[in-house]
């Protein structure tokens, strides 16, 4: 069972032995790379690399470099990957964290539009249309 970050933080603050905390919560840590997490999501969703390339709307070479762990893309490119993977909000935020980027934040106008699009299963193209209509920068 995944623990919420707040719950994990409370346990950490209350612990007296870090070794026990680390051992008991081994499954809670983000112990994979961005490329490994993307590969895991691709396997779960039965997607091939070429599917992610096409659906992300990013260049083929650049996307393959991301999938191989050779490139750490900017936040918008990661969000394009998220849409290619049909990720939910939890998976999206984990992918962003692993990429060293900030999570989607509901108090940010642009992020809230992207969250809405993810929750409503909008396509990347429809999301860009919505961002444009509401005066925000598009993703690609």
Q: What confidence tens digit (pLDDT) does each residue in 58-113 have?
A: 999 999 999 999 999 999 999 999 999 999 999 999 999 999 999 999 999 999 99
Please give the torsion angle defined by the CA atoms of residues 77, 83, 85 and 87, in that order, rounded to the nearest 10 degrees.
110
d(CA 46, CA 97): 23
Contacts of 70 (CB under 8 A, 6+ apart): none
CB 82 within 8 A of CB 47: no
Residues in the chain: 140
Predicted confidence (pLDDT) per residue in 18-63, tens digit: 999 998 888 777 678 999 999 999 999 999 999 999 999 999 999 9
């Amino acid at each position: 069972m995944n623990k919420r970050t707040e719950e994990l933080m409370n346990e950490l603050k209350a612990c007296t032995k870090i070794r026990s905390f680390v051992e008991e919560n081994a499954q809670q840590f983000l112990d994979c790379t961005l490329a490994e997490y993307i590969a895991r999501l691709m396997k779960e969703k039965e997607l091939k690399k070429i599917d992610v390339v096409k659906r992300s709307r990013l260049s083929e070479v650049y996307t393959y470099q991301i999938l191989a762990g050779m490139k750490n893309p900017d936040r918008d490119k990661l969000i394009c990957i998220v849409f290619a993977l049909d990720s939910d909000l939890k998976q999206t935020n984990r992918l962003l964290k692993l990429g060293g980027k900030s999570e989607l934040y509901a108090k940010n106008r642009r992020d809230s539009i992207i969250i809405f699009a993810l929750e409503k299963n909008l396509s990347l193209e429809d999301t860009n249309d919505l961002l444009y209509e509401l005066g925000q920068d598009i993703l690609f």
